[in-house]
C-alpha cells in the first residue's frame, strides 16, 4: 500500500510506520494510493489541496478533529493493511473569479476584505433574488462535512444533506439556510472590497464593487476512508457539544431564553 503523510507531525507517524509496517506500507512522494492525514480537521483541508481526489485517512493528532475516528493510529493502520475500510464520497464546492478556480471540501466564504468595515452584497439562489441588500461580514457556503466547522460556529447547528448558507454577523435578523446541493449561489458585491476564500487556503481571490461570484457543487468529488463501527461523532443537528448555545450566560452556563423572550 503506497501512502503519503500530511501533517505537522508527519515525521512521527513516518517513523512509526517504518518500524512496524515496513513490509506492508510504503511511504512515497508521488502517486499515492492514500493520504494519511495525521492531525486534525485542518490537515484534511491541506491534504485535499495538495493531493486532490486521493482518498484521505484521518488519524487524530489534534484536539479539533470532528472527522476523525476514535481509534488509535495502530488500529487504523492495521485495518488499512487488512483492507477493512470503506470509501465514502464527499462533494466539493467550487468558485471561479479572474480566471482562477478554488475548490473546497468544507466551505467557501465571501467576506469583507477590511475587518473594520461591513460588506454590502446581494444574493441569488438559482437566479432568485434573496433578501434584498445584505450587510454584514459576508456569508459562508458549506458542505455537510464542512458544517461542523465555520458554519457551526455561526449557526450553532449542522446539517447532513444539501448546502448550508450562513450569514456572518449580519445586521439583519436572518437565519441560516439549507438548500438542495445543486443550488447555484451567486453573490454581487455592492460595497467592498471583499474576498472569496476556500477552506483554510491562504490564496484569496479579490472582489471589488459590482463583481459577481458563483459558488456551486463541483463536478469533482473526493473520498474519505471510514471504518465500520460507532467510531465517529454524529452530526449535532442543533447545538454542538463543544459550543456555547445562543441565549446562554457564558459565565454561569444558564439558559437565558425566558429572559430574552
Domain spans of the chain, in order of start: 2-84, 92-219
What pLDDT is recorded for position 120? 95
What pLDDT is recorded for position 68? 79
Q: Please check whether the two domains, 2-84 and 92-219, share a CATH topology.
A: no
Q: Are β-strands 212-226 and 185-191 bridged in parallel, bridged antiparallel, or unpaired?
A: antiparallel
Radius of gyration of the chain (CA): 20
What pLDDT is recorded for position 62? 78
**How far is residue 67's CA from residue 104's CA, in Å, rounded to a whole number?**
15
What pLDDT is recorded for position 71? 87
CATH superfamily of 2-84: Probable inorganic polyphosphate/atp-NAD kinase; domain 1 (3.40.50.10330)
Q: Which CATH architecture has domain 92-219?
A: Sandwich (2.60)
What pLDDT is recorded for position 238? 45
What pLDDT is recorded for position 257? 43
**How far is residue 131's CA from residue 122's CA, in Å, rounded to a whole number?**
8
What pLDDT is recorded for position 69? 80
What pLDDT is recorded for position 100? 93
Q: Are β-strands 34-39 and 2-6 bridged in parallel, bridged antiparallel, or unpaired?
A: parallel
Between the alpha carbon of residue 138 and those of residues 157, 166, 187, 188, 217, the distances in Å are: 18, 9, 10, 11, 19
What pLDDT is recorded for position 232? 54
Residues of the chain with pLDDT under 70: 230-261
What predicted TM-score, i.e. pTM, was given to this entire model?
0.82
Amino acid at each position: 500500500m503506497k501512502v503519503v503523510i500530511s501533517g505537522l507531525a508527519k515525521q512521527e507517524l513516518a517513523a512509526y510506520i517504518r518500524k512496524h509496517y515496513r513490509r506492508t506500507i510504503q511511504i512515497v512522494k508521488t502517486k499515492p494510493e492514500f493520504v494519511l492525514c495525521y492531525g486534525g480537521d485542518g490537515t484534511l483541508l491541506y491534504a485535499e489541496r495538495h493531493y486532490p481526489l486521493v482518498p484521505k485517512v484521518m488519524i487524530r493528532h489534534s484536539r479539533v478533529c470532528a472527522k476523525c475516528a476514535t481509534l488509535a493510529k495502530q488500529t487504523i493502520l492495521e485495518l488499512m493493511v487488512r483492507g477493512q475500510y470503506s470509501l465514502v464520497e464527499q462533494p466539493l464546492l467550487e468558485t471561479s473569479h479572474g480566471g482562477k478556480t478554488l475548490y473546497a471540501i468544507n466551505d467557501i466564504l465571501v467576506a469583507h476584505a477590511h475587518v473594520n468595515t461591513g460588506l454590502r452584497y446581494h444574493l441569488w439562489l438559482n437566479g432568485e433574488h434573496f433578501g434584498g441588500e445584505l450587510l454584514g461580514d459576508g456569508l459562508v457556503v458549506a458542505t455537510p462535512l464542512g458544517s461542523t466547522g465555520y458554519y457551526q460556529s455561526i449557526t450553532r447547528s449542522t446539517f447532513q444533506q444539501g448546502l448550508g448558507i450562513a450569514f456572518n454577523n449580519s445586521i439583519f435578523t436572518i437565519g441560516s439556510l439549507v438548500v438542495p446541493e445543486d443550488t447555484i449561489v451567486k453573490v454581487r458585491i455592492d460595497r467592498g472590497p471583499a474576498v472569496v476564500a476556500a477552506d483554510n487556503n491562504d490564496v484569496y481571490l479579490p472582489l471589488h464593487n459590482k463583481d459577481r461570484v458563483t459558488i456551486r457543487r463541483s463536478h469533482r468529488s473526493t473520498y474519505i476512508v471510514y471504518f465500520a463501527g460507532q467510531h465517529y461523532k454524529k452530526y449535532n443537528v442543533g447545538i454542538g457539544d463543544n459550543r456555547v448555545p445562543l441565549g446562554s450566560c457564558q459565565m454561569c452556563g444558564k439558559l437565558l431564553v425566558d429572559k430574552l423572550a
